[in-house]
Chain A
Amino acid sequence: MSGTRPLAQAPTAPSRPAGGSTRVLPPVPGAAEDLRAHYARNGQARCRGPALIRAVREAGLTGRGGAAFPAHVKLAAVAQAGGRKVAVANGAEGEPASAKDAALLYHAPHLVLDGLQLAAEAVGAAEAYLYTDPRHAGPVERCLAERADDIPVTLVEAPPRFLSGQETALASRVSGGLGLPTFSFARVSERGVNGAPTLVQNVETLAHLALIARHGPGWFRRKGTPAEPGTTLITINADGHQIVTEAELGTPLASLITDGAAVLIGGYHGTWLPMAAALTLTLDNQALSRHHAALGAGVLAILPHHACGLIETARVVRYLAAESAGQCGPCLNGLPRIAVAMAELAGPQPRRGTVQAVERWAGLVTGRGACHHPDGTVRLVRSALRVFGAEIRRHAEGRCSATTSHPALPLPPADALPLTDEDWQ
């Protein structure tokens, strides 16, 4: 396998968050629980089928894969569809700065598998899949052997690519094809895996769903904000380490992160915020959206004072350009140019007009891909131009804030970038 992540090879031990917000993660970090320990801690599901979809709606559970789409809408859409149906737990986690799906599959695989069974049952799916990187499949395989599930679950390897968790890429991969995004007028919930209506939910969403089936929507809403209830897993990237923790939505960011020059919120399709601004915000999309940011899959990546935001962004954008599926012209042709221009801004004395060139190309690629890869990349680039304006001027004078060449943000090694179709399998 070509893709390894330097910073997330072993699932990160979750640190216990302030306020004891653990729900999907076990209160005491440890190895995967066996089935008996899992049921002893979490109990049995009491709410199933159509009633569970109603409970999920009342709970206000949103997708934890990044889009924060209401979970009950997808459930209801697939439940209403006819014919053979499929449910997929999405644990692809192609985002290098996120490790929460890996941590969840390591620490609480039975909760995810419970959620997958309950969701598959509620929508009437005859088959279920768990889609994840083969490095995280071990505990899940052992758990599957322990269980006597009604709906058979098949493990499908997600390619180690940034885009492999995208819904159409997932549907293509689970159908036996390459894990590439496809362009389709139909939603995956109408026509997904092998053309069947397909429910795709992030593994964390399914874990929350399994808990709602046990404790009900009222319990779920006891944490979080009224608009965005519940807890969420977040991955904090700081000092070359990744820490996965569970926090209530609405938690002050200042209780999660402290020091640094800036913070990247939402992952590599996310938004840079100056640390001073971030520390006044709370961990929910309502607050973050006022600063053009979104929680995404719960990534917080801290830019230390001794690093340069332009250098870090240029490295990430080059990675994102190389991870393009190469299918849509604006992405294939536009992202490499944006990446090279960002590298120029990150270097000594960039030519005049480079910022304007980046802005022009950013406008040309937005909204023009089959998936949101160009849009997400441009969101990151634009936020970097906004937040690191002073750094751009510093570079124009031939100076830079970085005092070390050690990279701050996690990325796979350069030789793990895709070169052949096998890299998307």
Chain B
Amino acid sequence: MTNSTAFWYASRATGVVALVLLTAVLVIGIAINRQARVPGLPRFAVTDLHRNLSLLAVAFVGVHVLTAVLDTFVSIPALAIVIPFTSGYERFWLGLGAIAFDLIVAMIATSLVRGRMNRTAWRAMHLTAYLCWPVAFLHGLYASGDLRQGVLSDVALGCALILAGAVTWRLVSVARQRPRASRVAAELAAAERQPPAAQTGPGLRSARR
């Protein structure tokens, strides 16, 4: 394996891992948004997991783009990492990659200063995750043929299906959501139907949502 093929392999490998990580980050983010429980984890740990996985994904994306530029087999200018459609090689599909990269950087940056940000602006930025993932996915699918064959095509398909399921669940859950103001009355009515002192567990976990 020459120096050049090492970069090439590293770029492809980190790209695939980044896709898996970004999928996981998005799915966990949906779980946090819907206040769902992740089995075996307390809620604060789910938030931490979301944050740490996203930072890990950024690390992989970083190695992915750096090795792609350093790889001399095809020539990709460094600026093409951040400025879409400036690469001579695979202009359109690498352009999508640059868009996804910019969105990821913007999401991470706004989340790091979230405490000092307007919540609506932060949320608007964070919602671009739903744009970022498909763009990154198309980039992965067509910038090279790797994801379209063999085991990696199963990985790509798996990521897409899991995410589609999570997004569908989010939409259904929002549609079924009880208006905030009537939640308290519903909880009170439920507690009165079934006096909670009979329970043996910690008793604060709500079965009705």
Closest to B199 in A: A357
> Contacts A334-B204, A337-B196, A341-B196; is A418 near B191 (CB within 8 Å)?
no
Q: Which of A332, A350, A360 contacts B184, CB < 8 Å?
A: A332
Q: Which of A56-64, A215-223, A323-331 contacts its partner?
A: A323-331
Closest to B202 in A: A364
- List B contacts of A333 (CB < 8 A): 187, 204-206
Judge whether B151 is part of the interface by a CB distance below 8 angstroms. Answer: no
Number of interface residues of B (CB under 8 A): 24
Q: Are B191 and A337 in contact (CB under 8 A)?
A: yes
> Contacts A185-B115, A332-B187, A364-B204; is A326 near B181 (CB within 8 Å)?
yes
> Contacts A185-B115, A336-B191; is A420 near B181 (CB within 8 Å)?
yes
A322–B182 CA distance with the chains assembled, in angstroms:
10
- List B contacts of A351 (CB < 8 A): 197-198
Contact bitstring A339-373, B, C-beta under 8 A = 1, else 0: 11101100000110110010011001100000000
Q: Are A423 and B181 in contact (CB under 8 A)?
A: yes
A234–B168 CA distance with the chains assembled, in angstroms:
55
Q: Which of A322, A325, A334, A341 contacts B197, CB < 8 Å?
A: A341
Q: Which of A324, A341, A419 contacts B182, CB < 8 Å?
A: A419
Q: Are A326 and B180 in contact (CB under 8 A)?
A: yes
- List B contacts of A364 (CB < 8 A): 202, 204
Closest to A182 in B: B119
A51–B183 CA distance with the chains assembled, in angstroms:
49
A418–B190 CA distance with the chains assembled, in angstroms:
16
Judge whether B150 is part of the interface by a CB distance below 8 angstroms. Answer: no
Q: Are A336 and B204 in contact (CB under 8 A)?
A: no
Minimum C-beta distance from B118 to chain A (A): 8
Minimum C-beta distance from A310 to chain B (A): 15
Q: Are A330 and B181 in contact (CB under 8 A)?
A: no
Tally of A-B Cβ pairs under 8 angstroms = 85
> Contacts A322-B188, A334-B204, A364-B204; is A357 near B196 (CB within 8 Å)?
yes
Minimum C-beta distance from A254 to chain B (A): 39
A336–B196 CA distance with the chains assembled, in angstroms:
9
> Contacts A326-B184, A332-B187, A333-B187; is A361 near B204 (CB within 8 Å)?
yes
A327–B183 CA distance with the chains assembled, in angstroms:
9
Judge whether B195 is part of the interface by a CB distance below 8 angstroms. Answer: yes
Judge whether A150 is part of the interface by a CB distance below 8 angstroms. Answer: no
Q: Are B184 and A322 in contact (CB under 8 A)?
A: yes
Q: Are B188 and A336 in contact (CB under 8 A)?
A: yes
A361–B195 CA distance with the chains assembled, in angstroms:
14
A425–B185 CA distance with the chains assembled, in angstroms:
18
A343–B195 CA distance with the chains assembled, in angstroms:
10
Q: Are B185 and A322 in contact (CB under 8 A)?
A: yes
Q: Are A361 and B183 in contact (CB under 8 A)?
A: no
Q: Which of B115, B184, B203 contacts A418, CB < 8 Å?
A: B184
Closest to B43 in A: A329
- List A contacts of B185 (CB < 8 A): 322, 417-419
Closest to A185 in B: B115
Judge whether B48 is part of the interface by a CB distance below 8 angstroms. Answer: no
Q: Are B183 and A340 in contact (CB under 8 A)?
A: no
Judge whether A72 is part of the interface by a CB distance below 8 angstroms. Answer: no
Please tell me the size bucket of the interface on A.
35 or more
Q: Are B179 and A336 in contact (CB under 8 A)?
A: no
Q: Are A357 and B184 in contact (CB under 8 A)?
A: no
Closest to A355 in B: B197
- List A contacts of B202 (CB < 8 A): 360, 364
Judge whether A424 is part of the interface by a CB distance below 8 angstroms. Answer: yes
Judge whether A395 is part of the interface by a CB distance below 8 angstroms. Answer: no
Q: Which residues 128-167 of B sit at the A interface, judged by CB distance below 8 A?
A: none
Judge whether A318 is part of the interface by a CB distance below 8 angstroms. Answer: yes
Minimum C-beta distance from B192 to chain A (A): 6
Minimum C-beta distance from B184 to chain A (A): 4
Closest to B189 in A: A336
Minimum C-beta distance from B22 to chain A (A): 28
- List B contacts of A353 (CB < 8 A): 197
> Contacts A420-B179, A420-B182; is A340 near B192 (CB within 8 Å)?
yes
Q: Are A330 and B204 in contact (CB under 8 A)?
A: yes
Q: Are B184 and A344 in contact (CB under 8 A)?
A: no
A421–B182 CA distance with the chains assembled, in angstroms:
8
Q: Are B191 and A361 in contact (CB under 8 A)?
A: no
A361–B204 CA distance with the chains assembled, in angstroms:
8
Closest to B206 in A: A333
Minimum C-beta distance from A176 to chain B (A): 14
Q: Are A341 and B195 in contact (CB under 8 A)?
A: yes
Could you jot down 12 A-B contacts, CB within 8 Å?
A326-B181, A330-B204, A332-B184, A332-B187, A333-B187, A333-B206, A336-B187, A337-B204, A340-B197, A357-B197, A419-B182, A419-B185
Using CB atoms and an 8 Å cutoff, list the residues of chain A in contact with chain B: 185, 195, 318, 321-327, 329-330, 332-334, 336-337, 339-341, 343-344, 350-351, 353-354, 357, 360-361, 364-365, 417-421, 423-424
Using CB atoms and an 8 Å cutoff, list the residues of chain B in contact with chain A: 35, 115, 118, 179-185, 187-188, 190-192, 195-198, 202-206
**Extra pairs beyond A333-B204, A334-B204, A336-B188 (19, CB < 8 Å):** A185-B115, A195-B118, A322-B185, A324-B184, A325-B180, A329-B35, A332-B183, A333-B205, A336-B187, A336-B191, A340-B197, A354-B197, A357-B203, A360-B203, A364-B202, A418-B184, A421-B180, A421-B181, A424-B181
